[in-house]
Amino acid sequence: MILMNIDLKYILNKTVELLNIPSPVGYTHNAIEWVKNELKKLGIKNYNITKKGALIAYIKGKDSNYKKMISAHVDTLGAVVKKIKKSARLEVTNVGGFAWGSVEGENVTIHTISGKTYSGTLLPIKASVHVYGDVAREMPRTEETMEIRIDEDVKTDEDVLKLGILQGDFISFETHTRILDNGYIKSRYLDDKLCVAQILSYIKYLKDNKLKPKTDLYIYFSNYEEIGHGVSVFPEDLDEFIAVDIGLVAGEDAHGDEKKVQIIAKDSRSTYDFTLRKKLQETASKNNIKYTVGVYNRYGSDATTAVLQGFDFKYACIGPNVDATHHYERCHNDGIIETVKLLIAYL
Neighbour-count burial of 15, counting CB atoms closer than 10 A to its CB (0-12 exposed, 13-18 middle, 19+ buried): buried
Q: Omega into 237 within 30° of 0, i.e. cis?
A: no
Length of the chain: 347
Strand 63-73 to strand 240-244: parallel, antiparallel, or no bridges (unpaired)? parallel
Helices then strands, counting H and E runs in the chain, come out as 9, 18
Is 73 annotated among the ligand-binding residues?
Answer: yes
Amino acid at 169: D
Query: Within 10 A of 181 (CB to CB), how many other CB atoms are there?
Result: 5
Q: Are 173 and 78 in contact (CB under 8 A)?
A: yes
Could you tell me which residues come within 8 angstroms of residue 116 by beta carbon, excluding any fewer than 6 positions away?
163, 164
CA distance 339 to 321: 9
Is 174 in the active site? Answer: no
CA distance 92 to 148: 8
CA distance 155 to 48: 46
Q: Which of 230, 237, 249, 248 is nearest to 304 (CA)?
A: 230
Strand 240-244 to strand 170-173: parallel, antiparallel, or no bridges (unpaired)? unpaired
Is 191 annotated among the ligand-binding residues?
Answer: yes
Q: From residue 333, how far is each of 10, 250, 276 by CA, in Å? A: 12, 18, 26
Helix, strand, or coil here: 48?
Answer: strand
Is 104 annotated among the ligand-binding residues?
Answer: no
**Exposure pattern of 325-337 as b/e (b: 16+ CB <10 Å)?**
bbebbbbbbbbbb
Amino acid at 7: D
Q: For 103, phi and psi rounded to 5 degrees? A: -120, 10
The residue from 147, 225, 258, 338 that is catalytic is: 225
Which run of H or E residues covers position 72? Answer: strand 63-73
Task: Give catalytic residue positions.
Answer: 225
Question: Which residues make up each annotated binding site for Zn(2+)?
Answer: 73, 191, 226, 245
